[in-house]
Amino acid sequence: MRNTRRGLLRRRRPELDAATVASAPVPLVVPDLDIAPNDPLLPVFQEASGPVDISALDLDSPALEQMREAGVMLVVPLVASGELIGLLNLGPRLSERGYSSDDRQLLGRLAGYAAPAMRVGQLVREQQSQARTRERIDQELKVAQLIQQQFLPKAVPDLPSWHVAAFYRPARTIGGDFYDFITLPDGRVMIVVGDVTDKGVPAALVMASTHALLRSNAVRLLAPGQLLATVNDLLCDDIPAHMFVTCLVLVLDPATGNVVFANAGHNLPYLRTSDGVIELRATGMPLGLMPGMKYDENTAVLQPGECLLLHSDGLAEAHNSDREMFGFPRLADIVSQPRSGEQLIDACMAELADFTAADAEQEDDITLVTLERLASAVYADAVPSDAGPAGSDLPTASVTSASADECLLGQFAVASVAGNERVALEQVADAVRDQGLSHDQLERLKTAVAEATMNAIEHGNANRAELDVDIKVFRLADAVAVTITDDGGAPSVDPPMADPDLDKKLAGEQTPRGWGLFLIKHMVDAMDVSTDGAKHTVRLTIHVESTPIPLGKEAGDDEQV
Amino acid sequence: MTSKCEATVRTVGNLSVVSLSGEVDGSAAHVLSAAYEQAAADGPPAVLLDFAAVDYINSTGIALIVSVLAKARSEGRRVVASGLSDHYRLIFDITRLSDFIQLYADVDSAASGINEGAPA
């Protein structure tokens, strides 16, 4: 309350001036009066029962000295609820006579009315100011949130044979976490996770510029170490002195599973391998601390079935009510369990919820990105060489390596109801209409899509109408690909099953059925099957011989191919 | 599921002709077997499946055709087909159905082909 009181003394100057004009031939000018908390004058005013005659006081008080110098004769303390909230300072009386007892009584009564009114005004003002502060903070949080959301990717990359999952949960005060996926011109995919020190709008702004610097330099530099060094030098020029950015950059070649990575002081990623969990280590200083830093570049290979976790410190450095830290060993232990990327993220968050109290406020942003190489199989190799028009002279392996250049032509879902494969094939036919497929190719693609969708409906989703079969159509540089995804964890088309043999079927040694997979394999140039434990995907690819539509163009552009 | 397949049976020369239309998929099982029974009732040497008005055949439909073929063969009857698009001809080739079912362009050429006593 002392500060408030002092502030009030300053604010009272207009009233002081008004009183002065009425009572002095020359305006009384009292300099900004700051009464120290231990000034003996304060108790005098506090306890006075009415106006105080300054000249009658004998105190060792700097404030009293100042008042006398300014010509103050009489001080009327304003006291509300026992608290001194202001002073009414008067100079010499205009008539040159001293203040009479009537004057003093009048001033005393005036103070009795004025003090509570002033107190009310003072409280209202305090509350308004607090409300404004709260509003400003809320506003800032909203701005920070907006900035941050603006820069987080809207979707994870869709890579055949890979499953990428991302999770981001901001703390209430919004930290500076970010992550990004950047497709490089050479077909590889760059994955970035970072964390700006500090919170709120300043962190969000630094995050935005870091994000922009990474994006704009990534496609030119390609190498993660060089990228971090460049961005560090650029950031050092502009970043506020007390702030820095930790950042991990990893470049994945989806065709081979090779990753190259560099680290600017960020948490080490965990890789689950068949030999246990390992950390991907590379040393480097956080960004924005000092220019001219070098960043180690290391490599690793992700084998099928392996899963990588990139994480910000919001998880491992979370505390419980006993101030214990969640800790890295606990996190590494979660990673060691065989799980899909999404399951891993769910497990991390479930463990965190167990660790902290249920109603505990999250201390910092949490960002988790998983990169999982699916245990996949390519069955196109199994197509016999005498398979007719769908023969084996077309590339199959290249389909996966071209993945980064693919562009989505269409995406839709059908309910798992028998007959809906017709809907799927019409939609796919529509999506690939201008992609240069010959009539025969289109018919073959339609049959393959219908058969794969039937499998997904019947086997993957067990004819449960509430489950969708998700279908995506992609344009690749030299092919068209369709993915058909159901909820069956296990492959819904059983691979190396014996090919149907018509002689045996006619002789009653095989069921008349069982043509689906056989047909698909003969209709398309490649069929890849993958599963992530929860979803099962069949990818069908047909090579297109005609001039491809330039990548990035929308399906249905006027340009004829 | 209601079938989107319809079948009519008539005789052309010594061929019993089953004209199919719509979709030959799992839902066509009953329509197809009933049509075959009707076509085979008078003991013709051959049954012609005419697909000219069929716009969709899937793997289950192929299985139904295999069943019809198996039954006809057990009865010593030939099955021939007509009106298949190039795409479904391809599928008959891939599945080797065309090794057992002689394919004709249309009903007329099937009728004259059969009368000429061509393929065994």
The pLDDT score that the predictor gives to residue A85 is 86
Whole-number average pLDDT of chain B: 90
Query: Is 80 exceeded by the pLDDT of residue B72?
Result: yes
B63 vs chain A: nearest CA distance in angstroms?
5
pLDDT, mean of residues A346-373: 85
Domain carrying residue A527? 378-543
Does the beta carbon of B91 lie under 8 angstroms from any beta carbon of chain A?
Answer: yes
Chain A contacts to B (CB-CB under 8 A): 387-389, 418-419, 421-422, 440, 443-444, 447, 450-451, 454, 500, 502, 505-506, 508, 511-516, 518-519, 522
Burial label for A49, CB within 10 Å (0-12, 13-18, 19+), is exposed
Q: Is A300 helix (H, G, I), strand (E, B) or coil?
A: strand
Angle at A115 between CA A114 and CA A119, to 5 degrees: 115
d(CA A383, CA A72): 107
Please state the CATH superfamily assignment of the domain spanning residues B5-115 in this structure.
Answer: STAS domain (3.30.750.24)
Determine the pLDDT at residue A302.
Answer: 92
**Would you call B58 and A421 a contact, using CB atoms and an 8 Å cutoff?**
yes
Query: B57 and B88 in contact (C-beta within 8 Å)?
Result: yes
Mean pLDDT, chain A, whole residue set = 80
Element (H or E) spanning A538, and its range?
A: strand A536-543
% of chain A at pLDDT higher than 90:
21
Report the complex ipTM.
Answer: 0.90
Q: Rounded CA gap, B32 and B64, in Å?
A: 8
Residue A553 reports pLDDT greater than 60: no
Pair A442, A524 in one domain: yes
In the prediction, which pLDDT does A551 show?
Answer: 42
For testing contact with chain B, the best of A416, A439, A447, A497 (most B CBs within 10 A): A447
Q: Which of A421, A506, A510 to mutate to test the interface with B (most CBs of B within 10 A)?
A: A506
Please tell me which residue of chain A has the smallest CA distance to B96: A502
A256 shares its domain with A356: yes
Q: Which of residues A329, A356, A373 is at a domain's end?
A: A373
pLDDT 10s digits, A285-314: 899 988 898 998 999 999 888 899 999 988
Q: Note whether A322 and A387 are same-domain residues.
A: no
For residues A397 and A368, state if they share a domain. Answer: no
- Structure confidence at residue B120 (pLDDT): 40
Q: Residue A8: which CATH number?
A: 3.30.450
Position A16 pLDDT exceeds 50: no
pLDDT tens digit string along A385-431?
333 333 333 333 223 333 446 788 888 888 888 888 988 998 899 88
Looking at the fold, whether A199 and A178 belong to one and the same domain comes out as: yes
- How far apart, in whole angstroms, are the C-alpha atoms of residue A66 and residue A127? 32
Total domain count, chain A: 3
| Phi-psi category of residue A324: left, alpha or beta, with phi > 0 → left and psi -120 to 50 → alpha | beta
Nearest chain B residue to A447 by CA distance is B58
Tell me, yes or no, whether A102 lies in a domain.
Answer: yes
Beta carbons of A363 and A314 less than 8 angstroms apart: yes
Q: pLDDT band at residue B22, thresholds of 50, 70 and 90? A: very high
Please state whether the predicted TM-score (pTM) of the whole model is above 0.80.
no
Q: What is the predicted pLDDT for the residue at A30?
A: 65
| Residue A143 maps to a domain | no
B53 in contact with chain A, both atoms CB, cutoff 8 A: no
**Amino acid identity of A29?**
V
**Which of A483 and A26 is assigned the larger pLDDT?**
A483
Residues of B in contact with A515 (CB under 8 A): 59, 62-63, 95
CB neighbours of residue A50 within 10 Å = 15
Q: Is B66 on the interface with A (CB under 8 A)?
A: yes
pLDDT for A385 equals 35
Name the minimum distance, in Å, from the CA of B24 to any CA of chain A.
Answer: 11
The verdict on a CB contact (< 8 Å) between B63 and A511 is yes
* pLDDT of A498: 67
* pLDDT tens sequence across A98-148: 888 888 888 888 888 888 888 888 889 989 999 998 888 888 888 877 777
The first and second tokens of residue A107, run together, are 């001033």
pLDDT digits (tens, 9 = 90+) for A501-534: 898 888 888 888 889 888 998 899 888 888 776 7
B-chain residue closest to A515, CA distance:
B59
Beta-carbon pairs below 8 A across chains A and B: 71
> Is there a single domain that holds both residue A229 and residue A332?
yes
Residues A316 and A442 in one domain: no
The dihedral built from the CA positions of residue A50, A54, A57 and A60, taken in this order, carries a sign that is positive
Rounded mean pLDDT of A192-209?
86
How close does chain A come to B87, measured CA to CA in Å?
Answer: 6
Token pair for A203? 């962190």
Instruction: Express each pLDDT in A453-487 by its tens digit.
Output: 998 998 888 888 888 899 999 888 888 999 999 88
Between these two residues, A500 and B118, which has the higher pLDDT value?
A500
Question: Which residues fall within 8 angstroms of residue A218, CB to CB, at 6 or more apart?
Answer: A182, A184, A190, A227
| pLDDT tens profile A151-192 | 788 888 888 888 899 988 888 777 788 899 998 888 899 999
pLDDT at A369: 94
Query: Residue A195 domain-assigned?
Result: yes
Q: What is the pLDDT of residue A349?
A: 87
Answer yes or no: do B64 and A512 touch at CB < 8 A. Answer: yes
**Is the CB of B25 less than 8 angstroms away from the CB of A440?**
no
DSSP character for A457?
I
Q: Which residue of B has its CA nearest to A422?
A: B56
A-chain CB neighbours of B91 within 8 Å are 447, 519
**DSSP letter string over chain B?**
----EEEEEEEETTEEEEEEEEEESGGGHHHHHHHHHHHHTT--SEEEEEEEEEEEE-HHHHHHHHHHHHHHHHTT-EEEEE---HHHHHHHHHTTHHHHSEEESSHHHHHHHHHTT---
| Same domain, residue pair A473 and A537 | yes
